[in-house]
Structure 1
Amino acid sequence: MKLYYQTHSPYARKVLVMAHELGLAERLEVIHHETSPTTRNETIYQANPLGKVPVLILPKGEALFDSIVICDYLDTSHQGPKLIPLQGPERYQALRLQALAQGLCDVGIKLRWEVERRPVHLRYPAYGDGQKYKLEESYRYLEQQVELDGPLNVGHIALGTALDWIVFRELSDFSQHPRLSAWYQRFCNRPSMRATEYSGQTHD
Structure 2
Amino acid sequence: MKLYHSPTSPFARKVRILIREKGAANRVSEELISTMEDPAALHAANPLGKIPALVMNDGTSYFDSPLICEYLDVALEGPTFIPASNIERWRVQRLHALADGIMDASVSLTFERMRPEAQRSEMWMGRWRRAIERGIAVLEAEVTDLDGALDLGGIATGAALGYLDFRHAGLDWQSKAPELAGWWKDFAKRPSLVETAPPA
TM-score by length of 1: 0.92
State the AA in 2 paired with 1:166. Answer: L
Match of 1:81 in 2: 79
Aligned length: 197
Match of 1:102 in 2: 100
Match of 1:57 in 2: 55
* Structure 1 unaligned regions, length at least 5: none
Higher helix proportion: 2
| 1:70-110 superposed Cα distances (whole Å, 9 cap, x missing partner) | 11111112343311001132111110111011111110111
State the AA in 1 paired with 2:15. Answer: V
Conservation of the 8 A alpha-carbon contact between 2:4 and 2:54: yes
Match of 2:124 in 1: 127
Conservation of the 8 A alpha-carbon contact between 2:6 and 2:32: yes
Conservation of the 8 A alpha-carbon contact between 2:19 and 2:25: yes
TM-score by length of 2: 0.93
State the AA in 1 paired with 2:78. Answer: G
Deviation for aligned residue 1:145: 2.9
Match of 2:22 in 1: 22
Distance 1:197 1:44, change over 3 A: same
* Structure 2 unaligned regions, length at least 5: none
Cα distance in structure 2, aligned partners of 1:102 and 1:74 = 18
Root-mean-square deviation (Å): 1.4
State the AA in 2 paired with 1:11. Answer: F
Cα distance in structure 1, aligned partners of 2:2 and 2:93 = 25
Match of 2:41 in 1: 43
Match of 1:178 in 2: 178
Identify which of 110, 131, 136 aligns with 2:133.
136
Report the 3-state secondary structure (helix = DSSP H, G, I; strand = E; otherwise coil) of the residue aligned with 2:75.
coil
